[in-house]
Amino acid sequence: MAGTAGTLRVGIIGATGYGGGELVRLLARHPTARVVALQARGRDDEPIDVSHPHLASTGLRIGDALPDGLDAVFLGLPHGAAAALVPDLIAQGVAIIDLGPDFRLRSAAEYPRWYRFEHPRPDLLDRAVYGLPELHRDELAALRDAEVRIVASPGCYATASILSLAPLARAGLIEDVVVDAKSGVSGAGREAKPEMQFGEVNESVRAYGVDGHRHVAEIEQELTRAAGAKLPPIDFLPHLIPMTRGILAACHVRTTRPVEQAELDALFETAYGGERFVEVVASPPATKQVTGSNHFRVHVHHDPRTGRVLVLGVLDNLVKGAAGQAIQAFNVVFGLPEASGLEQLPLAP
């Protein structure tokens, strides 16, 4: 590795978005990483407080060129952009943690379908690791000595859905599933859009993406891997909630056979008992219980009346759903304590 003992030199490309801001907020307090470069289109040599007033005290600036000798680069870019940029970074020996979708799907054929672009480097898809440490920790750790180091950090809805359902998928219990998900507006990014103005969002709730949200592709991919078998298409419906941060995924599951609460409890305990960032809780969680933290909180419930299983998972879409999870995976790849820089407790109320 290019880094010297004690400090890892990292860059962030796409630093002015919400995800970029969270990366700065967290990495600026990371005990081992040091942010040495920020990039953003059209923002050369701009103090960070122009785009992120709350981060003024970091004294960081958006710069132009990436310096040499970086250990890792975090990418927060629109889909398609990372795929174009990554090969060059790989050639420089830099580890990539991509917060976008360009390396999440293992099949190149899925990109035209879900993202409307032909993937320029299908050969890299197999070498990228889907950066969900709770499911792929060993693969991430194995990147440490790999020539090509690409972490495809999961989508926010995907993280909530996959972590909620993986224990059931592994146990072969999913016959059919409806994921009815709710998100705060920061998941839609920072660009000014008429429908995201305060006056339109506040005191209102609506569903969107009824023709199929892109995260469905990675959810189905990962649940199929967890199940070891093809699952029926997932019915996934996202909603926009009048709040800034937070995702709640309500997963309504018909099971392949009758189950009881005790079995469900055991499955989740086995899956997550040792996980630093997953909390299995005894009552329906509120998104506010995890705000600002890298925690994922999950509740599983068997309804004797309907025979169905309900799984409710919550996270902060900008932390465990984006920047925090990317740092968690970065920590694993570089052999650091997995919670480095992610120790902050949730902010409530």
14 to 22, 23, 63, 231, 308: CA distances (angstroms): 11, 10, 11, 35, 42
Long-range contacts of 139-143 (CB under 8 A, 24+ apart): 140/329, 140/332, 140/333, 141/332, 141/333, 141/335, 143/95, 143/333
Phi and psi angles of residue 259, each rounded to the nearest 5 degrees, phi first: -130, 170
Instruction: Map the footprint of its own copies across residues 318-347, applying CB under 8 A.
Output: 343-347
Nearer to its own copies by Cβ, of 145 and 349: the residue is 349
Q: Which is nearer to its own copies, 16 or 94 (CB)?
A: 16
Which is it for the CA torsion 156, 158, 159, 163, positive or negative?
A: positive
Spot the catalytic one: 72, 75, 156, 168.
156
For position 229 contacting its own copies by CB under 8 A, the verdict is no
Which residue, 53 or 228, is less far from its own copies as judged by CB? 53
Q: Which two tokens stand for residue 66?
A: 């990436």
Positive or negative torsion for Cα 124, 3, 141, 345: negative
84, 109, 146, 207: residue in contact with its own copies (rule CB under 8 A)? 207
Contacting range for its own copies; rule: CB under 8 A; set: 101-109, 116-124, 146-154, 241-249: 241-249
Q: Does 310 bind its own copies (CB under 8 A)?
A: yes
List binders of its own copies among 152-181 (CB under 8 A). 176, 178, 180
The residue written with tokens 């950090």 in the block is: 153
**244 lies in the binding site for its own copies (CB under 8 A):** yes
Annotated catalytic residue 156: yes
Shortest distance in whole angstroms from residue 235 CB to its own copies: 5
Residue 237 within binding range of its own copies, rule CB under 8 A: yes
Does residue 238 have a cis bond before it (omega within 30 degrees)? Answer: no
By CB under 8 A, is residue 261 in contact with its own copies?
A: no
In terms of CB distance, is 126 or 235 closer to its own copies?
A: 235
Backbone angles phi, psi at 91, to 5 degrees: -60, -25
CB of residue 47 vs its own copies: minimum separation in angstroms? 11
58 binds its own copies (CB under 8 A): yes
Distance CA(55)–CA(34), nearest Å, equals: 15
Question: Rounded to whole angstroms, how far apart are CA atoms 116 and 110?
Answer: 9
Q: Tell me which residues in 264-303 interact with its own copies (CB under 8 A).
A: 279, 281, 284-293, 295, 301, 303
Task: State the catalytic residues.
Answer: 156
